[in-house]
Amino acid sequence: MDFIFEGMNLYILLAAVFGLFMAWGIGANDVANAMATSVGSKAITIKQALIIAAIFEFAGAYLAGAEVTETIRKGLVQQDAFAGNPELVIWGMLASLLAAGLWLLIATQQGWPVSTTHTIVGAIVGFAAVGVGTHAVDWGNVGSIAMSWVFSPVLAGIVAFVVFMSIQKLIIDTPNPLENARRFGPLYLFFVGFILSLLTIKKGLKYVGIHFSDSAELAVALAIGTIVALIGYLLINRVNISSTSESSTTARRRSQYSNVEKIFAVMMVFTASAMAFAHGSNDVANAVGPMAAVLSAVHSGAVEAKAAVPSWVLLLGAIGIVIGLATLGYKVIATVGTEITELTPTRGFSAEFGTALTVVMASYTGIPISTTHTLVGAVLGVGIARGIAAIDLRVMGGILLSWMVTLPMGAILSILFFFMLKGMFS
């Protein structure tokens, strides 16, 4: 064990640096896709998007990021396989972080639609299977994660479809869409606030040391949902409704629709916040999961199954994401946001609702999924409800292809780095 203690500080330093780099990359890039739909539909300005993203990414990562971090840290590999060889975990996790960071850098510059989640999972499975042996991979867990990558876009699509259909039924296809938008808007916001806070309270808060009983959880979630709905109600009432002097029914309906969109633009601020929260809760793990694994291996000399993720690790990841957002993220949001003009607020609301719900649910169960791919599924769901003028299916093909390429690429790179580190340190 001497060797571990000699290199301990170096390993911790490396893990922190690599983890921060990865979190920075996630903040610089991934967040853009989550926020861009709101900016694109003119719901919020880029500056507002940045502030919202920073606050809620941070909150999501810190309050609800622990579960997925646990999965990345120890759910993908068999702990017994590393017993007595903690340095293998350290090298492997460091290699995974390096591999994922590098692959993301390459892919981003090429404009390929790759996912941070897929890369890091591919990398960890890669080093474990080749560097240690196929028995070192928890194939059952990996299999169910891979399955969830298929189901999460589908689920988000279904939710977005249902939400959009309900907006049509309750608001658009009524004699007085504007009035109904005012009436039902806060209700939708209540559900956003309620579901998200319930899932977060149930699983996340114990990591920061707050405990509630079951009924208290429900009460707190209900209260938060109500507060969100109330804030929404007040904001919706402040929306400037443009009225038309024209008396023809066609002109009146048209102005009603545009006013409904104005209201949903305000409501989208809430789903955008939910998206940022969901993204933080799921994707921060990609950076801090391997970091946490290195830390616990250094400290205890094994892959510790019991010890929980220290909350300062989550904090570090959250800070990394916000730094990424502040240094490069705004540029990406600006670029992407101005490109999405086809998504009106009612559509954006539906898509973000479906995505946020799906991703937070995945975070709740500890499954690492790709926020962006889930969002793509949700957009498609709105498209199936005949809500979007045109969706380019070739892009869908590219996304499917990227799923298949990213896993082996992450794996190959991390295997290379693994043997490099092994050669350097042993």
H/E stretch holding 313 reads: helix 311-324
Residues 178-237 within binding reach of other proteins (CB under 8 A): none
Using the minimum distance from each CB to other proteins, give the nearer residue, 86 or 324.
324
Of positions 18, 21, 127, 164, contacts other proteins by CB under 8 A: 164
Shortest separation between residue 33's beta carbon and other proteins, angstroms: 5
- Give the residue among 146, 198, 144 at the shortest CA–CA distance from 360: 198
Strands (DSSP E) contained in 191-318 are none
Q: Which stretch binds other proteins (CB under 8 A): 136-144, 217-225, 288-296, 374-382?
A: 374-382
Q: Rounded to an integer, what distance in angstroms lies between the CA atom of residue 417 and that of residue 123?
A: 10
Shortest separation between residue 390's beta carbon and other proteins, angstroms: 3
> CB atoms < 10 A from the CB of 318, how many?
25
Binding to other proteins by residue 388, rule CB under 8 A? yes
Strand partners, 137: 77
Q: Rounded to an integer, what distance in angstroms lies between the CA atom of residue 81 and that of residue 260?
A: 58
Q: Is the Cβ–Cβ distance between 368 and 376 less than 8 Å?
A: no
Shortest separation between residue 248's beta carbon and other proteins, angstroms: 11
Phi/psi for 292 (5° steps) reads: -65, -35
Residue length, the chain? 426
Shortest separation between residue 335's beta carbon and other proteins, angstroms: 6
- Give the residue among 373, 214, 368 at the shortest CA–CA distance from 286: 368
Shortest separation between residue 259's beta carbon and other proteins, angstroms: 12
Q: Rounded to an integer, what distance in angstroms lies between the CA atom of residue 111 and that of residue 114?
A: 9
Of positions 65, 113, 289, 366, contacts other proteins by CB under 8 A: 113
Residues 8-37 within binding reach of other proteins (CB under 8 A): 25, 28-29, 32-33, 36-37
Binding to other proteins by residue 109, rule CB under 8 A? yes
Shortest separation between residue 195's beta carbon and other proteins, angstroms: 23
Shortest separation between residue 73's beta carbon and other proteins, angstroms: 26
Q: Is the Cβ–Cβ distance between 358 and 59 less than 8 Å?
A: no
- Give the residue among 370, 287, 298 at the shortest CA–CA distance from 98: 287
Binding to other proteins by residue 246, rule CB under 8 A? no
Q: Which stretch binds other proteins (CB under 8 A): 78-86, 150-158, 210-218, 373-381?
A: 373-381
Residue with tokens 């853009």: 32
Contacting residues toward other proteins, per CB under 8 A = 25, 28-29, 32-33, 36-37, 40, 105, 108-109, 111, 113, 164-165, 168-169, 172-175, 249-250, 253-254, 257, 328, 331-332, 335-336, 339-340, 342-344, 346, 372, 375-376, 379-380, 383, 385-396, 398-399
